[in-house]
A = this chain, B = another copy of it.
Amino acid sequence: MVKIATIGGGSSYTPELMEGFIKRYDELPVKEIWLVDIEEGREKLEIVGAMAQRMWDASPYDVKVHMTLDREEALKDADFVTTQFRVGLLNARIKDERIPFSYGILGQETNGPGGMFKAFRTVPIILDIVEDMKRLCPNAWLINFANPSGMVTEAVLRYGKWDKVIGLCNVPVMAKMTEHIMLDVPQEDLIYKFAGVNHFHWHRVADKHGNDVTPQIIDKLYEEDNGLPKNIHGVPFYKEQLLQMNMIPCGYHQYYYRSEEMLAHGIEEFETVGTRGQQVKALEEELFDLYKDPELNSKPKQLEERGGAYYSDAACETIVSIYANKNTEIVVSTRNDGAVPDLPDDCAVEVTAYLGGQGARNVAFGPLPTAEKGWLQVMKAMELLTIEAAVMGDYATALQAFTINPLVPSGATAKRVMDELFIAHKNHLPQFSDTIARLEKEGITIKDDIARELSV
């Protein structure tokens, strides 16, 4: 019987996770679920925990949902640990976005400045969790969906020296769910190979006879709906470019292949409806209102608009596949081991893999085309620098990471944005306390209107 511990249990995603476990109970006989959160998340934890218990109670299965602020108790003898926590909650993400935008720079919460500060906040915590796991549940698997998921996975492998980790992402699922419809064939008749890093991967598709149908899908993308995830504004890729690489990028590649438009769109949202973080916050509040309803015992429709749909599905399927040694094909973040030969063997990549008792068995992708090789290598450098800065608390390394990030135009404004983000997140960046003290002494402050708005 399986014990699952979910760090960040008060997340709005938890009901989706419960649904996934209920659906798969025959394959994964869950006994206990432990939802862990911190003091600041206690209220949400209680709402979502009660909702989770109601979902199980409405199912034929006898599963106890525990709510706790004591992480050690939850981790003790766990079989699977899932991590979906958000250091500083959604407000931190809103700072990650609004401070850069206030200077005309993308905030981007996964691989942009926002994502880098998210990594600075998240990496020390995930490494703490890994240390706990070494003591309390040394045989457990860590299934991470805390963003930036790729960097978190890389940190767990490189600095945590913990191999039993899988990083998840819902983006590849979306491609698989939409592209077969474009070609009017059953999903299982398409053969997929993904390669890259989290939120920065490409894929190739073949039909069941092995014929490359990537060009046909590219054609279809320009005929009809382009199959991109809902939470990314639909700026089309240049078709020539896709045909040249003969691969299909992920939605986040728009930030790199159409920087100008993505920046313009981001600024427009920043100035009008609010950044994605703000939109998500409103959605979350709505969701938690729903969750409070003592009658509600199934995942509400509105959760899908949250973005990240199918995330939990991917997570549950991963857990089941490992538990039951099912060899299901899933795209995950995992140690490279040669699957993407343009990156070092020992770094984290996001690739097609068969998930089983031993974790991910990566499908070797082979060398990438010239342009994508270059892109991937520079993104991995950015990731490694960000993680190193997060672990060491080193300002200069953070500056190097900011400078090399293709989403950041280097120079004084970018440095100012970085400095203000350090100030804004001072409570969640203890490793940078010297840096933050220096910046404060130098008089770095956040623009008045933004500071007021963000209550910093």
Q: B365 and A374: CB pair below 8 A?
A: no
Q: A380 and B374: CB pair below 8 A?
A: yes
Chain multiplicity (copies): 4
Question: How distant is the Cα of A412 from the Cα of B349 in the complex, in angstroms?
Answer: 30
With A338-B339, A371-B404: A244-B399 Cβ-Cβ less than 8 Å: yes
A173 within 8 Å of B by Cβ?
A: no
Interface size class on chain A is 35 or more
Q: B193 and A240: CB pair below 8 A?
A: no
Question: How distant is the Cα of A422 from the Cα of B421 in the complex, in angstroms?
Answer: 42
Enumerate chain B residues within 8 angstroms of A354, measured Cβ to Cβ.
Answer: 354, 363
Q: A411 and B339: CB pair below 8 A?
A: no
A375 within 8 Å of B by Cβ?
A: yes
With A240-B399, A370-B384: A336-B357 Cβ-Cβ less than 8 Å: no
With A345-B367, A357-B208, A406-B406: A244-B397 Cβ-Cβ less than 8 Å: yes
With A325-B189, A338-B364, A357-B207: A409-B409 Cβ-Cβ less than 8 Å: yes
A358 within 8 Å of B by Cβ?
A: yes
Enumerate chain B residues within 8 angstroms of A361, measured Cβ to Cβ.
Answer: 193, 352, 363-364
**Nearest Cβ on chain B to A232's Cβ, whole angstroms:** 15
Enumerate chain B residues within 8 angstroms of A329, measured Cβ to Cβ.
Answer: 327
Enumerate chain B residues within 8 angstroms of A410, measured Cβ to Cβ.
Answer: 256-260
Write the chain B residue with the least CB distance to A241.
Answer: B399
A275 within 8 Å of B by Cβ?
A: no
Q: A370 and B385: CB pair below 8 A?
A: yes
Question: How distant is the Cα of A28 from the Cα of B166 in the complex, in angstroms?
Answer: 37
Question: How distant is the Cα of A262 from the Cα of B359 in the complex, in angstroms?
Answer: 39
A400 within 8 Å of B by Cβ?
A: yes
A209 within 8 Å of B by Cβ?
A: yes
A415 within 8 Å of B by Cβ?
A: yes
Q: A374 and B404: CB pair below 8 A?
A: yes
1/0 per residue A188-225: CB within 8 Å of B?
01010100000000000011111000000000000000
Query: Which residues of A approach B to under 8 Å, CB–CB?
Result: 164, 189, 191, 193, 206-210, 238, 240-241, 243-245, 256-263, 322, 325, 327, 329, 335-341, 345, 352, 354, 356-359, 361-367, 370-371, 373-375, 377-378, 380-382, 384-385, 388, 394-397, 399-401, 403-404, 406, 409-415
13 A-B residue pairings within 8 Å (CB atoms): A191-B356, A207-B357, A209-B325, A210-B359, A241-B396, A241-B399, A259-B411, A260-B409, A339-B339, A354-B354, A361-B363, A361-B364, A406-B406
